[in-house]
Amino acid sequence: MGSAAKAHSGGAAMVYNDFAGLSAFDSRQHFRQGNYTGHTAGIAPGMLQGNVAILPADYALDFARYCQRNPQPCPLIGVSDTGNPIMQTLGEDVDIRSDVPAYRIYENGELKDEVTDIRDLWRNDFVAFAIGCSFTFEDALMAEGIELRHIDQNKTVGMYITNIKTEPAGPFSGGTVVSMRPMKISDAVRASAICARFPHAHGAPVHIGDPAQIGIKDINAPDWGDMTEFRDGEIPVFWACGVTPQNAVRLARPPICITHAPGRMLVSDVPAWAIDSKKPHS
C-alpha cells in the first residue's frame, strides 16, 4: 500500500533537536513537508498532543461510544466532521492527512503499512478522532524536575498490552494498552499527583510496581516503542495509553482504519493548561 500513500514534497531533513523553540504550527509544517518522521515527545512543549484514529463513518459512532466509556485510555479531545480532514477545533490549519509524522494503515485489523502522508487515501466517509496523549503530562512532569529517560535518550516510550479490560462498545473491545516510565518511588508518588490534574491526558497512573499483576510477562519486551533501562531504586510506573484504540481496532477488524504510528502524535495549538484542572480556562 505504500505506493498508494502520497509522499510529501519534501524539504530539508530534520532531527529531533531541530525542533527546540519551534511552535506547534511551525512543527506541523515540517511534518507536512516530510522533513521529520520521528517521535514528537517534547516538541512544542506546553501544547496538547493527540493520538489519532480515522475510521469510516459506519464505525464512528461505536468508536465514539468506546472512547466515552473508556475515558482514561481514550480521552477524546477532537472529532472531525465526516469527510473533512481539517481538525478545526485543534488549531490553525490542522490537516489530519499530512500533519502527523507517520501513520499506520490497518485493513481488517491487520497492519498493512506505515506511511508519512494519507492524502491519497482520504475518503469522504472518514471521521478523524484525536485522543489525549501522555506527552501532555510529560511536559508537566519535566517542569517539576522528574526525569523521563526515554526523552533524554531520544527513544519512544515503551507500550504494553495488559489484562486490564476496556468497556466494549459495538465491535470495539480489548485490553488497555499502557505506557511505562521507570521512576524512583518518591518521584512516582509526585508524578501521580501531577498527572491527576490532566484527566484528558490519561490522568494518574493505572498501576505501579509488578508488571505481572497487569499481565505483562516481560518488561524488557514492549509491544510498541523502545525498551527503557532501569537504574537502582527504580520501579515501573504505568499509565493508560492512547494506543489502546489500535488494540481495539485489531479486534474489531474494520475494513480500514488509519492511526498515528506509536510515538508520532498530532501536535495541536491547544495549550496543555486548557485541560489542567488547577489552572483557569480562558
Indicate which CATH number applies to the domain containing 59.
3.40.1640.10
Domain that holds residue 63: 2-133+249-274
> Are residue 161 and residue 90 in the same domain, yes or no?
no
* Residue 140 sits in the same domain as residue 218: yes
Are 16 and 119 in a shared domain?
yes
Quick check: is 172 in a domain?
yes
Query: Is the same domain home to 152 and 66?
Result: no
Looking at the 3D structure of the chain, how many domains does it have? 2
199 and 67 in a common domain: no
Q: Is 282 a member of any domain?
A: no
Pair 41, 150 in one domain: no
* 146 and 226 assigned to the same domain: yes
Does residue 149 lie within any of the structural domains?
yes
Tell me the CATH number at 227: 3.30.2040.10
Same domain, 35 and 55: yes
Task: Report if residue 161 sits inside a domain.
Answer: yes
Q: Are residues 33 and 112 in the same domain?
A: yes
Residues 46, 157, single domain; the answer is no
pLDDT of residue 140: 84
Residue 127 falls inside a structural domain: yes
Residues 91 and 7 in one domain: yes
In a domain, 140, yes or no: yes
In a domain, 280, yes or no: no
Q: Is residue 279 assigned to a domain?
A: no
Instruction: Write out the chain's pLDDT in tens, 282 residues.
Output: 443 344 444 567 999 899 999 999 999 999 999 999 998 988 998 888 998 999 999 999 999 999 999 999 999 999 999 999 999 999 999 999 999 999 999 999 999 999 999 999 999 999 999 998 887 788 889 889 998 988 888 888 899 999 999 999 999 999 999 999 999 999 999 999 999 988 888 889 999 999 999 999 999 999 988 998 999 999 999 999 988 988 898 889 999 999 999 889 999 999 876 654 444 333
Indicate whether 168 and 239 sit together in one domain: yes
pLDDT at 274: 64
Q: Is the pTM of this model over 0.75?
A: yes
Pairing of strands 257-260, 103-107: antiparallel
